[in-house]
Amino acid sequence: MKKLEASSFRKNFYTMLLLGVSFAILMPGCSRRFFRNRADNEVNQILATKDKYPNWKLEQFHLLPDPRARFASAGNQDRPSMPPDDPASMAMAPNPQKPGKYGIGHMEGSGYIDLLSQYDSENRSAVAIKAPKEIDAPFKLVSFKQDGINYLDNLDPDKGPFDSMGLTYKGDPAGRYDHPFLIKLEQSCELGLVNSRDFQFRRENVYLAALPVTLQRFAFAAQFYANEVAIRERANSETVANNTNRWNVASEAGFTKTFSTGALLLFRYANAIVVDMAGNGGTQIRTPSALSLDLFQPLFRGGGRAVTLEPLTLAERNLLYEMRSYARFRKEFYADIVVGGVPIVFSTPATVASASRFNSVFGSGIAGAGNVQVTPGEGNGYSSTSQAFAARRDGYLPAVLKAGLLQNERENVKDLSTTLDQYKEMQAIGDQSELQVSRILQQLLSFKTNVITRELSLRDALDRFKYQLGLPIDLPLELDRAPLEPQLAQLARYSNLVDEFKKTRQESRKLNDPKKVDQLRKGLQTILKESDFVKGTQFKEKLPKRWAEWEAMTKEELAAKLKEINIRRLELQESKADFERKGKQQPNTEKLELGEKDFEFFLGRFERNLRLYEQKVNWLRNGVDDQLNQFENLIEDFLLVLVEPRNEKLDKTRKSWPTVPRVCVDGVDLLKTEIDEALFAGCRHALTNRLDLMNGRAQLMDSWRQIAVSANALQGVMNVEYSLLGTSPANVAQPVNFNAGSLRHRLILTGDLPLVRIQERNAYRATLINWQRQRRNLMAFEDTIIEDVRNEIRSLRALSQTYDIQKLAVELAYLILDNALETTYAPSKPGGAGGAQGNNDSAQAAFTEQLLAAQRSKLTAQNTLFGIWIDYLSARTFLYRDLELLPLDPRGVWIDEIETCHCDLQANRPAETVTNLRSIPNSAEGTRGGPASFLLPPRKISLK
């Protein structure tokens, strides 16, 4: 018998030992990696089920940073290397955690450098191929770099302390890079996807918004639990326990289940194994057990689907909001990269009122209530490290604009430096005074100061742009000039035209040789027929025949013909003046006839004066040599003949102006349509498609639901509970011996009158106020969207019109400067009141001021042109961002298909009566605007 008892004891002892060891092994749980992967898998599954709407599809989403990013996270994600610590903090506080190995983990990736190198190689190869076609272009935008622009190429290096700024790129001081990295706009956007800290922060926000969904879904799943307590007790006979020697192992297992009605099911099985080794009859084993089943249902407070499912509903909807915010952010990010600025952000209250469902459960005496591990509403948000530094936004286009303005300033300094040298030469021969030379120098110094200011502005803009892309601030960067290329090419055309005309004037004046008068006609004919200035013009084709007709006339016939033509010219000019006084346009037939008569008159007068010069008439008069005076008069008539080819080339150059990109939405051209219709079309599209507005309308519904949730907490407590309890025999080893006689059934009704509800009352009243605030917030947000869209459309229309005006201003600036230079440097006529080289000080000062004013006017016109062009591109980007019409390709670059996808839509729709702009259905969800949909008066607009 004793032998049997000893064998049974050993068997039970080993069993308990095995259970204890297993329990000790399982207690630490699974590895960090297991839990991280489980969380990632659940989030991926949730996002996959939510990601079904094309309007806010999750693109470029990945939780871990791109391996090429500067902040790439390599190595063990669960046990990252210890980062560098602050020495003082380390010395003044305990350091319980030590790295697993010596050294400190590398905290910064470098894959983005390889990406930049690839961009740079591709771009420079393209530039090398394109360069031969641009060699003759007189207006070039130099590369603009992090380490400055060598604007001293055209200045004296020993003038002023300019070299102290380090304006030329002399290589990286640390020897890391041979030259700056050249990148384009599209590549900047792609680099931003990889390397932007802002972008990665928003990706993580989507993940963090999905975590509460996993928790709230689990709150309604069966939640199992198991625990065990092992006690070894030994006491002598003189103690209160009176000679105790036993093992006591208590185990409990079960599960809980929450239902959508608020009901709570608890199942529990408890068992105790008691091995008493101090009994008189030897070792005794007892295994008492208990089996319980409890069902708890609140009827008033804490009961019902509305209250129970609210945390899950809120978590699911918050994830949807974050997904839409992420899709919206991608477009805002593109706009920020291109233009800079701060996007519109619609914020809502961070917390909402919620009633606690289980306030009365844990104090109700329900066995196992404490084992409910996750309840609905628990842990509905996860705190995360905030973004301590908001990226400063300057944008690609503003940086390119600053580089263009700097280039204009440099060209201006170069031109005025040439003028200064010429004035000094004229001063040396007595044709200019010291005062006028000093005036030119004074203006030149002012322009040099402008260059330094522009240089500083550009370098600051490049640093801010690199910060925006997440690049090191000291990384040398060079931006491609593509956005300004159309305007640069047009300015080059005007510059070429002016230079050709200037060259033609210079060639004609080289023919001033009194000894070769007989060769003058042939030389002028060569210029009119073969010079670059007349190539490709109709003037070159018709001139020989027209001139031959004048050459064939006698002196009397020529004079009569001139008189006849001049009479008709005066009639046409008077007619033109009459039409202008009446505010009307002269008929095209008269315009063409006037132009033709002007040409005939100038050509005939040129032929007459050329004959007089060839005959040396009036070369000597009153003892004064008048040959130069007569030659200049002849050249003036010659240049008047060239007005027609100049105008012809100007017309051709005007047609080469780049047109502003079109702005259309839903088939409506916002630039050409009537202003009211354009504004309505833009606002309608924005209110229908804006993702953040969809979130705002949905969050208004969240506030509305909270009213019922908080009102539920005002009610009294009325709970119904059913309890089933069964026990096994206490003094024997029969742990599963449950029979009908050992079962106990209980039905419990619990009530609590709502006598004290001051906290709940305050929460309810706050919820009502939050609801009203949310309504007003949504109204204000809709108004903000309408205001922004209307302002952007009006701005674009104004910029488009201003651009047309500025094109003429630029043309006039070039022509006026050319005329001012011609007037200043033209040879003076003997005996005249004075050209620029005359003895009249007033005339010298007037010509100098005229030249400086023309120089400033040209610079202002160029800068204004660049500013209008970049402002238009920026405003257009902002408008389509606010219209939610910025589809992006995998690189994060705008797929600008406005010309084909929105401008060519059928716009001939029947008239529709719009009673409320805000009541337009949501295109993605088909719902109306909500309670905030009022304020606008009825209006009827025909979209044709």
User: What gap in Å lies between CA 634 and CA 616, rounded to an integer?
Assistant: 12
- Count other C-beta atoms under 10 Å from residue 227's C-beta: 12
Locate 366 and state its tokens: 């329900």
CA angle, 64 as apex, 59 and 69 as ends, to 5°? 90
Q: Which residues contact 577 (CB under 8 A, 6 or more apart)?
A: none
User: What gap in Å lies between CA 193 and CA 465, rounded to an integer?
Assistant: 14
pLDDT of residue 179: 83
Q: Which residues contact 226 (CB under 8 A, 6 or more apart)?
A: 251, 252, 253
91-109 pLDDT per residue, tens: 899 888 877 665 565 678 8
**Angular region, 9: left φ>0, alpha ψ -120 to 50, beta rest:** alpha
User: What gap in Å lies between CA 266 and CA 369, rounded to an integer?
Assistant: 7
CA angle, 344 as apex, 340 and 347 as ends, to 5°? 140
Q: Which of 314, 308, 309, 316 is nearest to 358 (CA)?
A: 308
The three-state (H, E, C) secondary structure of 210-257, written as one string: HHHHHHHHHCCCCEEEEEEEEEEEEECCCCCCCCEEEEEEEEEEEEEE
User: What gap in Å lies between CA 593 and CA 575, rounded to an integer?
Assistant: 12
CA angle, 784 as apex, 779 and 789 as ends, to 5°? 130
- Please tell me the number of Cα atoms within 13 Å of 142 on its side-chain side: 19
DSSP state, 835? Answer: -
pLDDT of residue 840: 62
User: What gap in Å lies between CA 635 and CA 901, rounded to an integer?
Assistant: 56
Locate 506 and state its tokens: 């210079």
Q: Which of 187, 186, 169, 164 is nearest to 112 (CA)?
A: 187
pLDDT of residue 928: 36
Locate 578 and state its tokens: 């009459």
662-680 pLDDT per residue, tens: 999 988 999 999 999 999 9
Phi, psi of 875 (to 5 degrees): -65, -35
User: What gap in Å lies between CA 674 and CA 514, rounded to an integer?
Assistant: 65
929 sits in which H/E element: none
User: What gap in Å lies between CA 641 and CA 599, rounded to an integer?
Assistant: 7
Report in angstroms the alpha-carbon separations of 488 from 483, 484, 491, 673: 10, 6, 5, 30
| The CATH number of domain 659-690+777-944, selected from 1.10.3470, 1.25.40, 1.10.287, 1.10.8 | 1.10.287
Phi, psi of 459 (to 5 degrees): -65, -40
The single-letter code of the amino acid at 185 is L
260-295 pLDDT per residue, tens: 999 999 999 988 888 887 766 677 788 888 899 999
Give the DSSP per-residue string, 619-632. SEETTEE-HHHHHH
pLDDT of residue 351: 39
3-state secondary structure of 717: strand
DSSP state, 81? Answer: P
Indicate the pTM of the whole model: 0.82
105-140 pLDDT per residue, tens: 567 888 899 999 999 999 888 877 765 444 333 333
- C-alpha Rg value of the chain to the nearest Å: 44
In the block, residue with structure tokens 């017309």: 651
User: What gap in Å lies between CA 731 and CA 286, rounded to an integer?
Assistant: 5
pLDDT of residue 390: 55
User: What gap in Å lies between CA 151 and CA 180, rounded to an integer?
Assistant: 17
Phi, psi of 149 (to 5 degrees): -115, 135
User: What gap in Å lies between CA 68 and CA 191, rounded to an integer?
Assistant: 10
pLDDT of residue 944: 30
3-state secondary structure of 434: helix
Q: Which residues contact 774 (CB under 8 A, 6 or more apart)?
A: 348, 349, 699, 700, 703
Contact 148, 166 (CB under 8 A): yes
Q: Which residues contact 685 (CB under 8 A, 6 or more apart)?
A: 665, 666, 883, 884, 885
Contact 944, 712 (CB under 8 A): no
3-state secondary structure of 751: strand
Residues of the chain with pLDDT under 70: 1-29, 100-106, 130-175, 237-243, 279-281, 342-375, 377-392, 617-628, 733, 826-840, 899-902, 904-944
The bridge status of strand 223-235 relative to strand 264-276 is unpaired
pLDDT of residue 241: 55
pLDDT of residue 379: 63
Phi, psi of 506 (to 5 degrees): -65, -40
3-state secondary structure of 157: coil
In the chain, which residues fall in CATH 1.10.287?
659-690+777-944
Phi, psi of 22 (to 5 degrees): -60, -45
pLDDT of residue 383: 53
Phi, psi of 593 (to 5 degrees): -65, -40
Q: Which of 361, 364, 389 is nearest to 375 (CA)?
A: 361
Distance between the two ends of the chain, CA-based, in angstroms? 107
Distance between alpha carbon 425 and the CA centroid of its chain, in Å?
53
The three-state (H, E, C) secondary structure of 638-675, written as one string: HHHHCHHHHHHHHHHHHCCCCCCCCCEECCEECCCCCH
pLDDT of residue 906: 52
Q: Which residues contact 674 (CB under 8 A, 6 or more apart)?
A: none
Q: Which of 12, 241, 188, 143 is nearest to 484 (CA)?
A: 143
